[in-house]
Chains A and B, each alone.
Chain A
Amino acid sequence: MLTRDDYQGTKEAWCPGCGNFGILNAVKKALLDLQLPPEKILMVSGIGQASKLPHYLRCNFFNGLHGRALPVALAAKLANPEMTVIVHNGDGDCYGEGGNHFLHNIRRNPDITCIVHDNKVYGLTKGQASPTSDKGFTTKVQTHGVFNEPFNPLAIAISMNCSFVARGYAGDLSYLAELIKKGIQHKGFSLIDVLQPCPTFNHVNTFRWYQERVYHLEEDKEFDPGNPLKAFYKAREWGDRIPLGVFYLHPRPTIEENIPALQAGPLYRQKIQPNRILDIMEEFYASPGEKPWLRGR
């Protein structure tokens, strides 16, 4: 029986009151509920405050480059599908610098849980706007306020038939933990965008601001996550009311299931036999009769 201590990593170095603490606790709760042994978990992250999360847990991790967590995670999953692979990145990390990988991994559908700590601001570089910043958000760079259309990760993911699309909130720990559990249990690419207040650089989207607006999708008895149009409609709801929950479910085969080479098990366990290239030597001779490469064997 695993306990909370089994997941205890190093001491956190986040600002007091950071939304990341809530996310970290929700992750620990989800792992504990699922009783996932630390050595079977691989956390992959990019750069940013969110990406430091794996250090504060006890598990395998690869903390790579800004925006590049997904390609690393995808390939690690392909090399060893037996691992539970969870990605932690921020909004700038995943939707800005890593936007291209975000789109293409939705297409691939690896069995990865992608948690985005979405605080709508660049914290590590001290407060510039992010792709998800609301219009009018003023910073030292966006001096006239953001006038670009905010990136809507949920709507984009739904439009691309992402197999699991959800939104959580760092101030709603047990609900977020449930979403993370569902994401890990879901076979395929699970996007969990997490609303995360940044007390230092985002004075608009605060805990209080969210507290007044968020509601659970379950409140709407009509809502069906199998319906892409309804999901899309909900994904565009932003302002006085902000929905949380599983927006969209679209189970489909994962990339791992589609690759014949993986049927023989994880790549690291497959035997290396240099001699096997003899099977294809014939193609370089165009002479089906003779086998000079087997001479003397």
Chain B
Amino acid sequence: MDKELTIKIGGEAGQGLVTIGSVLSNLFSRGGWYVFSSQDYESRIRGGHNIFQMRIADDPIWAMSDRVDVLIALDRETLYLHLPELHDNSVVIYDGEKIQAPPSGKVKLMSVPMDRIARESGGPILANTVALAATVGLLGYEIKYLEDYLRLTFGKKGEQIIRENTQAARRGHEEALRICREKREVCPFQVRPLDAPTKMLVSGNEGVALGALAAGCKFYSGYPMTPSTGILTYMASKADQFGVVVEQAEDEIAAINMVIGASFAGARAMTATSGGGFDLMTEGFSLAGMTETPIVVVLGQRPGPATGLPTRTEQAELQYAIHASHGEFPRMVLAPGTPEQAFYLTAHAFNQAEKYQIPVIILTDQYLADSYFSLDRPLDPDKITIDRCLLSEEELGRMKEEYRRYALSETGISPRTIPGQSRHLVMADSDEHDEYGHIIEDRETRSRQAAKRMKKEQMMEQDILPPNIYGHLKAKNIIICWGSTWGIVHETMKKLHDEGEDVAMLHFTQIWPFPSRQVKDLLRDRDELICIENNATGQLASIIREKTGMAMDEKILQADGRPFSVQYLFETVQEVIR
């Protein structure tokens, strides 16, 4: 990586730091840079200390860096709190007319009268536009890109808003240039647009939602809960265009039961929630298992138990996802690591749910859901196939006998049809039932139906996604991880390689059914196995041990509500392998 830069924006909720962050992310992404941005916020609407941080580089990046090069301080707290993270060349942008700066040590302070310029241009609300433009000026990005962007985003809000914002932007930009001129120094970080293609900038939540839209999800219901709410809002924003029914449920219990009802009646259906909401859904989850109704549930993890740290991140619901609900029934648990994986895995989830008539969980977390990633390749709908596995009209027409929703079969999968489509009646029951769907209590039928359901788990092995291997598996040390830590661990591994360490990485995107056979093959005779998880107990490590008998040599765990940093992992892995 030749060039990289980290910008941190801090302030109170409501000061517009997310706007600054997303506009900058978009501008750089548009200029051919790779961008990774994440948010760190408290569970409150206004006030508090919030951060939007963004790393930009000329090589692909998937994680945050520890160093801060540019700090945009919208309040006094940010200025003092983050000074220790800055280095000799860091620049701080702040409003010296409102905040008294600490005696500057090594860092460069750039005071821009954000509030004054904003008021003179139309109102104090424009302060974030001034800060944005000053940053653009400092980094040597041309103002015209920002002006274009403002016109694009404020287009609908009318000429006056565009005029005021443009004026505030121009003045903020000029001010930054003037300061640089006067101080006779150029900012060490210049990020003029590269001669590289524009990158697609997508969050984990958007990756899931786009995958669902591409796969033909026609019914979505959910109850708002961080960090899954983004999926609900995104689906709602596209509902009319894509012919999706989006319903805000009265609670998560209703949400999952609605998804089951919609799927039973023939629509591909999905819901998204977080741990606490999924608790409420577990009864419905087992209803999907018993009635063999295909559904897709996104479980966006956040730290618990109970309400835990509502806006932060953790990977502590893996064991929960594979065990949730009463009774025994087959399910699938998928865990994407990037928005790109989220896109393809979500589409895959719909196909698998319908093929095996099971509930499928997509396990994400706040870190993946809310972070924005630059994608090298556009998401490609051509790679998505639609496989509904329903009886055709012809097959239904040929059927002489009465349709049996739960007909016994070699594979455990019964032919599926939708009520109202033909003369055949579809009967489903949450009680144990016979092949027709009628309630039974006799032991033979119970055994046969229960065995039929579980049989699907063997069939599911044919579609199992083995873990992805990065680097050479002959390596002495194998780092194992799953889901959202993909980017952080991947970058750590690259860094370790650069330092001459002999490491490879194994990343799981399918946790259940667990790819036991493949893992046994891959890990046979390996020297050192190191599992990295964003939880306190090493949940994947336990599953691997249970399913393969292989124990990890080391576990690197963290459950403080924050994602790992590459620097920390780099140092810890180095320590462990020496």
Chain A contacts to B: CB under 8 angstroms: 10, 38-40, 42, 44, 47, 52, 54-55, 58-65, 68, 70-80, 82-83, 100-101, 103-104, 259-262, 264, 266-268, 270, 272-281, 284-288, 290, 292-293, 295
Contacts and interface: CB of A to CB of B under 8 A. Distances in A.
Contact of A276 (B26, B242, B255): B242
B221 A39 contact: no
Given A10-B438, A277-B213, A79 B261 contact: yes
Given A44-B261, A59-B425, 19 more contacts: A10-B438, A52-B439, A68-B253, A70-B254, A75-B221, A75-B262, A76-B264, A80-B265, A80-B420, A82-B420, A261-B245, A267-B265, A267-B267, A272-B215, A276-B242, A285-B200, A285-B201, A286-B201, A293-B200
B245 A259 contact: yes
* Most chain B CB atoms below 10 A, which of A40, A76, A295: A76
B200 A284 contact: yes
Interface in B253-304: 253-255, 257-269, 283-284, 287, 291
B149 interface: yes
B239 A261 contact: yes
Contacts of B267: 79-80, 267-268
Contacts of A292: 197-198, 200, 378
Contact of B257 (A63, A68, A83, A288): A68
Contact of A274 (B263, B287, B386): B386
3 smallest A-B Cβ distances: which pairs? A268-B266, A272-B216, A293-B378
Nearest to B212: A277
Interface stretch (B63-71, B82-90, B427-435, B482-490): B427-435
B238 interface: yes
B453 to A, nearest CB: 17
Nearest to A259: B245
B218 A267 contact: yes
Interface residues of B, number: 78
B523 interface: no
Contact of A79 (B26, B29, B245): B245
Interface string B407-425: 0000000000011111111
19 contacts: A52-B439, A55-B427, A61-B427, A68-B253, A71-B253, A71-B257, A76-B264, A78-B219, A78-B245, A79-B261, A82-B420, A259-B245, A261-B240, A261-B244, A261-B245, A266-B266, A268-B265, A286-B27, A286-B149
Contact of B29 (A38, A267, A278, A286): A286
Nearest to A266: B266
Please indicate which of the listed interface residues B264, B384, B431 has the most CB atoms of chain A within 10 Å of its own CB: B264
B26 A286 contact: yes
A239 B353 CA distance: 53
B1 interface: no
B249 interface: yes
B389 to A, nearest CB: 13
A39 B422 contact: yes
Interface string B430-457: 1100000111000000000000000000
Contacts of B378: 281, 292-293, 295
A42 B215 contact: no
A130 to B, nearest CB: 20
Contacts, number: 213
A164 to B, nearest CB: 21
A285 B21 CA distance: 15
Contacts of A74: 247, 258, 261
Nearest to A286: B26
B210 interface: yes
Interface string B72-90: 0000000000000000000
Nearest to A255: B247
Contacts of A280: 210, 238, 241
A75 B269 contact: yes
Contacts of A276: 213-214, 242, 381
B142 interface: no
Nearest to A46: B430
B133 interface: no
B478 to A, nearest CB: 35
A78 B258 CA distance: 10
Contacts of A261: 218, 239-240, 242-245
A260 B240 contact: yes
Contacts of B247: 74-75, 78
Nearest to A261: B243
A235 B243 CA distance: 41
A274 B380 CA distance: 9
A104 B251 CA distance: 10
A270 B243 CA distance: 8
Contact of A63 (B249, B425, B430): B430
Contacts of B422: 39
Contacts of B210: 277, 280
Contacts of B198: 285, 287, 290, 292
A60 B427 CA distance: 5
Contacts of B30: 285-287
Given A79-B261, A83-B420, A267-B262, A64 B200 contact: no
A65 B202 contact: no
Contact of B258 (A60, A71, A273, A287): A71
Contacts of B149: 286
A65 B379 contact: no
Contacts of A277: 210, 213-214, 379, 381
Contacts of B242: 261, 276
A268 B265 CA distance: 7
B347 A64 contact: no
B401 interface: no
B254 A275 contact: no
A293 B242 CA distance: 19
